[in-house]
Amino acid sequence: MAYVLRVLESYPPQRVTFFMPQLVQALRYDGEKLVERYLLRATQRSHIFAHILIWNLQGETCELESGKDSSAMVDKFN
């Protein structure tokens, strides 16, 4: 996962928005919080990326199979 995120860092956030649904899903299984840190850095570089991320996170604000509530993640980005 670290390699993928390093590659994504080299692209502007607007090009990465295509992969937003997959990145949001990856948050569920991101024990090391690598995806979360990447997303936070990308939101600081692009307001458009931040808005798209919030929309995708709000779409995932249901009870997760892992038992974690993803609404706490939405609050980090608001």
Residue-number span of the structural domain to which 61 is assigned = 2-77
- Structure pTM? 0.73
Q: Give the residue among 24, 69, 62, 66 at the shortest CA–CA distance from 42.
A: 24
Q: Where are the alpha helices (DSSP H) in the chain?
A: 2-9, 13-16, 20-26, 34-45, 47-59, 71-77
Residue range 14-65, pLDDT digits in tens: 999 999 999 999 998 999 999 999 999 999 999 999 999 999 998 887 665 5
22: which residues sit within 8 A by CB, 6+ positions away? none
Q: Are 65 and 29 contacting, i.e. CB atoms less than 8 angstroms apart?
A: no
Enter the tokens of residue 17: 């928005």
The domain tally of the chain equals 1
